[in-house]
Structure 1
Amino acid sequence: MDSTGSRLGLSLGIITLAAPIVALGLFIGSFAVTATSAAAGNPLAGRSFYTNPNSTAQVAATAAAVADPDSAAAATLGKLAEQPSAIWLMPEKYPLNTVQADVTAIADAAEEVGQTPVFVVYGIPDRDCGNFSAGGLSESDYPTWVASIATALTLKASVVILEPDALALATECGNVEQRVAQIQQGVAAFAPTVATVYLDAGHSDWLTPATAADLLNRAGVAQVRGFATNVSNYNDSAAEQAFGEAVSALTGGAHFVVDTSRNGRGGNGEWCNPAGQALGGTPEATTDGASRDANLWVKEPGESDGTCNGGPAAGEWWNERALELAAAAGW
């Protein structure tokens, strides 16, 4: 991916997966909800998003509190850990044989405290086209894995962001038709659920609105709530708002969410641990009735993008950078 891409920066393990192959029907039409009808009211309004007690931020905050409970670092990391961020579902951590039970447990825990979990589905075959976040499932296992996640969320209120970078990278990777079909599989799987689903659309420094809209339309954005922008990136909210509105106008009024976890200073064109950045707006639904449904922390802001600009391996927690982001935001 070139410098305009997200480069999600996730640490990946290796797990051998084995499970029966279950055919997943691609007939979306019987479950279709048009973008226009889905736009009747913001489904995220009034929701409290789930704060994962096992997040990397919480682990860091606990360690800091044990080392020096009265330190400024412990207080800042504790505040970071209180912010709801997305839970990334990757087959390396949530394999095919346990993913349904794992997601059910998370959704149940969120329901018990009256919160709505945000999930990122990130297991598409040839994920990241073999770059830093390489991995993913086989062509045969992927539909089954997604269907298992959907089954767990059939009657559970949740937000699902489907396959960051998959569509945005497709032109560069030369697999547009394959990616469109794979995202359609996800759309079909979640259609009978109550999950609020957003397809990933890249961001304002990557695709033109016309290109993003074309990919989203082909992948079935009209059958879900809308799309997500700026996942794991740093573009400011004004740029993403303009991009989102332009894409929305070309997708039948599809709504969108923005990853604001690290966009407080708007980035500098770098995707991998750029210096001088800040936390962005905290996660919350919007209330202005416009096309933007919410600000979300999709990327945990203290996690490294990779071994660049002094960072640790991709996906590892980086205390120094987390504290810098917080300080720059005035925390």
Structure 2
Amino acid sequence: MDSTGSRLGLSLGIITLAAPIVALGLFIGSFAVTATSAAAGNPLAGRSFYTNPNSTAQVAATAAAVADPDSAAAATLGKLAEQPSAIWLMPEKYPLNTVQADVTAIADAAEEVGQTPVFVVYGIPDRDCGNFSAGGLSETDYPTWVASIATALTLKASVVILEPDALALATECGNVEQRVAQIQQGVAAFAPTVATVYLDAGHSDWLTPATAADLLNRAGVAQVRGFATNVSNYNDSAAEQAFGEAVSALTGGAHFVVDTSRNGRGGNGEWCNPSGRALGGTPEATTDGALRDANLWVKEPGESDGTCNSGPAAGEWWNERALELAAAAGW
């Protein structure tokens, strides 16, 4: 894959209570009420995103503190672990037979501390076109797996980013129609839930706004809150803001979120563990009423993009990388 692309590197029926749920301040990501939710303002405003106590950053921070509690590395990794980041739902870790219970447990834990979890659904068949993050489910199992996740989140406030790279890569892998249909399945699965759903749109250094918008429109972006940009990439926020606004104009005003986890210095044309990058703005919802709903840390900053530029396998934690990104950001 060329340097303009993004590789990720990782590890119910109609709800009849829709009206009272909206009255309580929750936003329904369904076909019937998406437009109402969007008009009511940013559904993420005022939310505190979930800090996963079992994140790879937390595991690394704990190990560093045990090894040398007074070290600068332990302090930096501890600060990183305090930042809320997305939980990637991959069938290799969350298989079909346990995913519903697993997601329910995470959502319950977040609810108990008054936080909103951010999930990334990442199990599409032939994931990543066989590259660093290859894997995924069979075409038979995938719809059931996604439906199980949606069932777990039916009445749980959450953010869901649906299948990073799937639509954007389809333009290179020659499976656009298949991918559009698969994303449509995901959109339908989350329709009767209160999850705030964003379809992945690639990023500003990959697709043109027209191409991204066409894919999103075909996949059903009008039926969800909007789209996500820069997932697991490095492009600066200004570039992603311009890209997001251009795509929004072509998708009926869809809102968007940006992955700012590693975009503090912008990109350099590489997508796989490029040197000289920095942590970006910390996760928070926007409050200016603009099209961007939030900055999120979708990618855990210390996880490798793949076996490139001296990195370990995709999704594995890499202390040196995490500390480098933090130092470059002035942490």
Return the TM-score normalized by structure 2. 0.93
Change (3 A) 1:19 1:286: closer
Tell me, what secondary structure is at the counterpart of 2:313? Answer: coil
Give the C-alpha shift of residue 31 in structure 1: 3.0
Give the C-alpha shift of residue 129 in structure 1: 1.0
2:193 alignment partner in structure 1: 193
Give the C-alpha shift of residue 324 in structure 1: 0.8
Give the C-alpha shift of residue 23 in structure 1: 32
Give the C-alpha shift of residue 26 in structure 1: 24
Give the C-alpha shift of residue 18 in structure 1: 34
Cα distance in 2 for partners of 1:14, 1:276 equals: 49
Change (3 A) 1:101 1:25: farther
- Which segment is superposed worse, 197-206 or 133-142? 133-142
Change (3 A) 1:330 1:164: same
Cα deviation digits, residues 167-210 of structure 1 (max 9, x gap): 00111111111000000000000000000000000000000000
Tell me, what secondary structure is at the counterpart of 2:18? Answer: coil
Tell me, what secondary structure is at the counterpart of 2:30? Answer: helix
- Which segment is superposed worse, 157-166 or 312-321? 312-321
Cα deviation digits, residues 109-140 of structure 1 (max 9, x gap): 00000000000000001111111111111111
Tell me, what secondary structure is at the counterpart of 1:58? Answer: helix
Cα distance in 2 for partners of 1:200, 1:137 equals: 19
Change (3 A) 1:26 1:51: closer
2:145 alignment partner in structure 1: 145
Tell me, what secondary structure is at the counterpart of 1:273? Answer: coil
In 2, are the aligned partners of 1:25 and 1:188 still within 8 Å (CA)?
no
Unaligned runs of 5+ in 1: none
Cα distance in 2 for partners of 1:305, 1:13 equals: 38
Tell me, what secondary structure is at the counterpart of 1:29? Answer: coil
Percent of counterpart pairs with the same letter?
Answer: 98
Change (3 A) 1:20 1:194: closer
Tell me, what secondary structure is at the counterpart of 1:31? Answer: coil
Tell me, what secondary structure is at the counterpart of 2:155? Answer: coil
Give the C-alpha shift of residue 312 in structure 1: 1.3
In 1, are the aligned partners of 2:233 and 2:263 still within 8 Å (CA)?
yes
In 2, are the aligned partners of 1:51 and 1:82 still within 8 Å (CA)?
yes
In 2, are the aligned partners of 1:36 and 1:252 still within 8 Å (CA)?
no
In 2, are the aligned partners of 1:28 and 1:187 still within 8 Å (CA)?
no
In 1, are the aligned partners of 2:44 and 2:285 still within 8 Å (CA)?
yes
Give the C-alpha shift of residue 91 in structure 1: 0.4
In 1, are the aligned partners of 2:30 and 2:193 still within 8 Å (CA)?
no
Cα distance in 2 for partners of 1:13, 1:63 equals: 45
- Which segment is superposed worse, 78-87 or 300-309? 300-309
Tell me, what secondary structure is at the counterpart of 2:105? Answer: helix
Cα distance in 1 for partners of 2:23, 2:97 equals: 16
Give the C-alpha shift of residue 313 in structure 1: 1.3
Change (3 A) 1:104 1:19: farther
Change (3 A) 1:183 1:17: farther
- Which segment is superposed worse, 12-21 or 266-275? 12-21
Cα deviation digits, residues 195-230 of structure 1 (max 9, x gap): 000000000000000000000000000000000000
Change (3 A) 1:168 1:28: farther
Give the C-alpha shift of residue 275 in structure 1: 0.4
Unaligned runs of 5+ in 2: none
Change (3 A) 1:49 1:27: closer
RMSD: 6.6
Change (3 A) 1:36 1:28: closer
Cα distance in 1 for partners of 2:143, 2:123 equals: 10
Tell me, what secondary structure is at the counterpart of 2:199? Answer: strand
Return the TM-score normalized by structure 1. 0.93
- Which segment is superposed worse, 24-33 or 291-300? 24-33
Tell me, what secondary structure is at the counterpart of 2:293? Answer: strand
Give the C-alpha shift of residue 32 in structure 1: 3.8
Cα deviation digits, residues 74-96 of structure 1 (max 9, x gap): 00000000000000000000000
In 2, are the aligned partners of 1:35 and 1:252 still within 8 Å (CA)?
no
Change (3 A) 1:323 1:15: farther
Give the C-alpha shift of residue 25 in structure 1: 28
Cα distance in 2 for partners of 1:277, 1:12 equals: 43
What is the aligned residue count?
Answer: 331
Tell me, what secondary structure is at the counterpart of 1:150? Answer: helix
